[in-house]
């Protein structure tokens, strides 16, 4: 699964996150890399810091109001969002995310089904720094506008290419979806998107629209975990 959520948050929110982060100390990003620590060179806000937690909670509040994000992820649990920066010569080599993540503060553990990267820098602010994700259609490269979010299977091989100029700011986090299987989640997401596109044209009260809604909810009921 790979979904590009355009304008997941607005430019004013991007500026607010950037402003808060600019005043904070940054630490080595290796602590959140797990077994991939040797493949990574960047910096991050301390994951258990008050600022990181406050910004993460604010970000999730916005994202959970975004229908495209919720439809694609069908989130059950979300690891607290983290914030990182890639300066010149920073990178993250090809890797697959850890299957299980534990939050040191809450002690909660989640199965990592999906990973998300929210871009907080505009593309012209830095060179390099592309997010590259390998999926069933091959290698896909992303360097979208600030405020866009890329949601992808955590089991996909992915990387961040070396930054050669400027700084790439982003937030990243992991999710456990109510629907475990990637293929099933993609089908449900596609069905929901079709329903949302059809509703304005034929009306939400159309009998066939109601049938599609029944199918959607019954598929979530069949595959979903609460």
Summarised one tens digit per residue, pLDDT across range 7-34 is 999 999 999 999 998 888 999 988 776 6
127 is in an annotated binding site: no
Q: What pLDDT band is residue 211 in, cutting at 50, 70 and 90?
A: very high
Asked if residue 213 and residue 146 are part of one domain, the reply reads no
Asked if residue 215 and residue 159 are part of one domain, the reply reads no
At residue 203, the pLDDT reads 83
Asked if residue 190 and residue 171 are part of one domain, the reply reads no
180 is in an annotated binding site: no
At residue 137, the pLDDT reads 78
Nearest to 192 by CA among 205, 171, 209: 209
Residue whose token pair is 């975990």: 225
Its domain, for residue 196, covers 182-223
Total structural domains within the chain: 2
Asked if residue 211 and residue 171 are part of one domain, the reply reads no
Asked if residue 109 and residue 24 are part of one domain, the reply reads yes
The 10s digit of each residue's pLDDT in 109-154 is 999 999 999 999 999 999 999 999 998 778 999 999 999 999 999 9
Ranking 38-42, 54-58, 162-166, 170-174 by mean pLDDT, the lowest is 38-42
Ranking 88-97, 132-141, 210-219 by mean pLDDT, the lowest is 132-141
Taking the C-alpha atoms of residue 18 and residue 83, their distance in angstroms, rounded to an integer, is: 10
At residue 39, the pLDDT reads 86
* pLDDT(186) > 70: yes
Asked if residue 198 and residue 105 are part of one domain, the reply reads no
CATH number of the domain enclosing 51: 2.60.120.620
Model pTM score: 0.93
Asked if residue 119 and residue 34 are part of one domain, the reply reads yes
At residue 46, the pLDDT reads 93
Domain termination site, one of 177, 192, 207: 177
Domain termination site, one of 139, 161, 177: 177
Asked if residue 219 and residue 119 are part of one domain, the reply reads no
Domain termination site, one of 162, 177, 192: 177
Asked if residue 205 and residue 170 are part of one domain, the reply reads no
* pLDDT(217) > 70: yes
158 is in an annotated binding site: yes
87 is in an annotated binding site: no
Asked if residue 73 and residue 168 are part of one domain, the reply reads yes
At residue 219, the pLDDT reads 96
Q: Give start and end residues of each alpha helix (H) in the chain.
A: 11-22, 50-63, 67-73, 182-202, 207-223
Asked if residue 127 and residue 196 are part of one domain, the reply reads no
């Amino acid at each position: 699964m790979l979904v590009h959520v355009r304008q997941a948050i607005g430019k004013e929110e991007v500026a607010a996150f950037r402003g808060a982060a600019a005043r904070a100390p940054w630490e080595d990003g290796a602590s959140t890399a797990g077994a991939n620590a040797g493949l990574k060179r960047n910096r991050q806000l301390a994951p258990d810091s008050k600022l990181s937690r406050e910004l993460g909670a604010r970000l999730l509040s916005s994202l959970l109001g975004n229908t495209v994000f919720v439809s694609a992820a069908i989130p059950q649990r979300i690891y607290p969002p983290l914030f990182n920066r890639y300066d010149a010569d920073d990178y993250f080599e090809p890797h697959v995310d850890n299957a299980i993540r534990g939050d040191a503060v809450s002690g909660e553990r989640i199965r990592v089904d999906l990973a998300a990267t929210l871009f907080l820098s505009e593309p012209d602010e830095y060179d390099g720094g592309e997010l590259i994700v390998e999926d069933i259609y091959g290698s896909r490269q992303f360097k979208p506008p600030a405020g866009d979010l890329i949601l992808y299977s955590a089991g996909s091989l992915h990387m961040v290419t070396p930054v050669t100029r400027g700084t790439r700011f982003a937030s990243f986090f992991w999710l456990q979806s109510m629907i475990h299987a990637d293929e099933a989640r993609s089908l449900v997401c596609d069905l929901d998107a079709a329903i949302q596109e059809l509703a304005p044209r034929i009306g939400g009260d159309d009998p066939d629209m109601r049938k599609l809604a029944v199918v959607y909810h019954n598929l979530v009921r069949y595959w979903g975990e609460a």
